[in-house]
Amino acid sequence: MTVDAASAGLLAAANSWRDQDPDATTRAELDDLVTAAAAGDAPAHAALVDRFSSRLEFGTAGLRGELGAGPRRMNRVLVTQAAAGLAAYLLARDPHPSIVIGYDGRRNSEVFARDTATIMAGAGVTTTLLPRHLPTPVLAFAVRHLDTSAGVMVTASHNPANDNGYKVYLGGADQGSQIVPPEDGLIAAEIARVSAVSITDLPRSTDFIVADDTILDEYVRQTATIGHPAAAVSFVYSAMHGVGWETAKLVFEAAGFGTPAVVTEQIEPDAAFPTVAFPNPEEPGAMDLTLARALEVGADLAIVNDPDADRLAVAVPGRDGVWRRLSGNEVGYLLGWRAAERAAAGSATEGGTLAASIVSSPALRAIAAEYRLGYEDTLTGFKWISRAENLLYGFEEALGYLVDPHIVRDKDGISAAVDFLSLASELKAAGRSIDDHFDDFADRFGAFASSQISLRVDDLSRIAQMMDALRATLPTTIGTIAVDRIDDFIGGFDQYPAGDILRIHLSGGSRVIVRPSGTEPKLKVYIDASSAIGTAAERRAAAQSVVAELDAGMRRLLEA
């Protein structure tokens, strides 16, 4: 059959990629697609177009995407190109660069990490590979502890099972934080340059260090100092099929909290994540096994880390005995209150800053004002939160908490778990509960309520369409609540760089923010309201009523 020029070019690109691919699985995938497409199979041709029409963009989250063949998938060719580009970037800014590399338990994570190590060593970068799959916070700690120029963590965090990713940290003046502009663009330019040649021509070396347990031991030692028990707390732990358990167990024991009851079905790494639809504690049903285990053992508290253990979910029994998962905002502002108390007691740096992403609860700002601390709203992501000046504590509503910036400059679900366990134990020693503590918070700072709408899509263009529709007809009311003003970040707003974000301020001080997810195919809506009138219960009810109306109103708007 006759093949047009565009199709011939597509087949040539696929064959070229296949010829340099060291992975038998993705080579076979391309062989099958090329053969079928050359024979006129339309779905195979479409699949090749999907894989080769562009490439996964290297940005402030590094790389993240579905495993598979081609430049729009995560695979050994793409990762090797990324490693070579990052190596070139490091060598251009440091005559003697160094890097530490970690990986989680997902499919191909260790393979991608070892490919990165051989490329880095071959380029002349002093390279350390962590000894086995370990949590992301251990890698983030290692960048600071070893004082390396950079770090790479191979993980897709809480994404679906067939995803993987490549997260980059910078040492030195960046203090072990994730990359931000313009560095991401400089790295991307180097990746584009090296991608013009076959990866088979890149120098490689096995002359890299495989670390022993010294780094892990020091992470455990330092993290265990964050809290200690005032009373014995019974708790349940789940690793959500990820890599958190080994490290978390060591930290819990070193901090004096003992060994928790575990969710056996989810405690060991399993890249298939067989008991959950999505390995994200925020997803409906993801914590069902944990809550059942907590009820079975009569626990005081339930703790879940996501698969790379940089996030923390907490569930508690309410006054009615029914278990509920606390929102990321609730955990975030309770831990923020603890950070402010530590600062007031002089156990932290004098003064200092509390920071949260713009989509997180305004409660942290209220805490900062009460304690006369600095406060900073940042764009979403710990790459921004971790860079707040004189940071004491930071959080984002998506279950991310940074409780000790001296240890890790990234969210850390294990250190946050120790801090929350300490809170629960102190309350138990005083004969009080987490719900009592929420009452105390509402009495002192006001009650804060929040809600989130998360619309998952199969076609990413649908997200752009929904954002365009909102901008085309900006709402003047949501439900019966009047809109005061709308901040559009699309061309940059105030001190923030350009972003696809709409922030809607409403009468009475409530707020709605709409933005695409940075890591998943979702449109996300964040709703916040507060009340400082009446008793704690009345304040909560008033705030929740406003949130409920805004939630219903936004769903109607997005469905229109």
Q: How far apart are CA 528 and CA 526, in angstroms?
A: 7
Query: What number is the average pLDDT over the span 343-371?
Result: 89
Between helices 24-38 and 42-52, what is the axis angle to 10°?
A: 130
Query: What number is the average pLDDT over the span 22-32?
Result: 97
Is 531 labeled as catalytic in the residue annotation?
no
Helix (H, G, I), strand (E, B) or coil at 319: coil
Provide the pLDDT for residue 348.
46
Cβ-based neighbours of 259, under 8 Å, separated by 6 or more? 249, 252, 253
Retrieve residue 232's tokens: 């014995």
Q: What's the angle, vertex CA 233, arms to CA 213 and CA 429, rounded to 5?
A: 125
Domain residues of the chain, as ranges?
Answer: 1-53, 57-212, 216-317, 328-444, 446-559
Retrieve residue 75's tokens: 């695979």
Backbone torsions φ then ψ of 533, nearest 5 degrees: -115, 130
Which of 55-64, 214-223, 259-268, 304-313 bottoms out in mean pLDDT, i.e. has the lowest? 55-64
Longest dimension (CA), the chain: 81
Provide the pLDDT for residue 350.
61
Tell me the per-residue pLDDT of 97-110, one tens digit each, with 9 for 90 and over: 999 999 999 999 99
Q: Residue 557 above 70 pLDDT? A: yes
Bridge pairing between strands 511-516 and 502-506: antiparallel
Domain topology for 57-212:
Alpha-D-Glucose-1,6-Bisphosphate; Chain A, domain 3 (3.40.120)
Cβ atoms of 153 and 139 within 8 Å: the answer is yes
Confidence of residue 406 (pLDDT cuts 50, 70, 90): very high
Tell me the per-residue pLDDT of 119-146, one tens digit each, with 9 for 90 and over: 999 999 999 999 999 999 999 999 999 9
Bridge pairing between strands 209-210 and 477-478: unpaired
Q: Residue 154 above 90 pLDDT? A: yes
Average pLDDT value over all residues in the chain? 95
The yes or no reply on domain 216-317 and CATH 3.30.2130.10 is no
Residue that has been written with the tokens 């400059």 in this structure: 409
Q: How far apart are CA 81 and CA 77, in angstroms?
A: 6
Instruction: Output DSSP code: residue 220.
Output: H
Q: Which one from 98, 109, 149, 157 is the annotated catalytic residue?
A: 157
CA 534 to chain CA centroid, nearest Å: 37
Tell me the per-residue pLDDT of 412-434, one tens digit each, with 9 for 90 and over: 999 999 999 999 999 999 999 99
Q: Residue 542 above 70 pLDDT? A: yes
Provide the pLDDT for residue 179.
96
Bridge pairing between strands 312-317 and 323-325: antiparallel
CATH no. of 446-559: 3.30.310.50
Q: Residue 111 above 70 pLDDT? A: yes
Domain 328-444 identical in fold to domain 446-559: no
Provide the pLDDT for residue 499.
87
Q: Residue 351 above 80 pLDDT? A: no
The count of other CB atoms within 10 Å of the CB of residue 333 is: 28
- Under CATH, which architecture does the 328-444 domain have? 3-Layer(aba) Sandwich (3.40)
Q: Identify which of 274, 69, 77 has the alpha carbon closest to the alpha carbon of residue 160.
A: 274
Q: Residue 449 above 90 pLDDT? A: yes
- Residue ranges in 94-135 assigned as alpha helix (H): 109-123
Cβ atoms of 374 and 390 within 8 Å: the answer is yes
Q: How far apart are CA 308 and CA 269, in angstroms?
A: 10
Provide the pLDDT for residue 3.
57
Tell me the per-residue pLDDT of 160-210, one tens digit each, with 9 for 90 and over: 999 999 999 999 999 999 999 999 999 999 999 999 999 999 999 999 999
72 bridge partner residues = none
DSSP element (H, E) containing 128: strand 126-129
Provide the pLDDT for residue 6.
76
> pTM for this one?
0.94
Provide the pLDDT for residue 431.
97
Can you give the length of the chain in residues?
560
The count of other CB atoms within 10 Å of the CB of residue 559 is: 8
Q: Identify which of 289, 262, 261 has the alpha carbon closest to the alpha carbon of residue 274.
A: 289
- Residue ranges in 371-412 assigned as alpha helix (H): 382-385
Q: Identify which of 354, 380, 409 has the alpha carbon closest to the alpha carbon of residue 173.
A: 409
Confidence of residue 559 (pLDDT cuts 50, 70, 90): confident
Provide the pLDDT for residue 1.
43
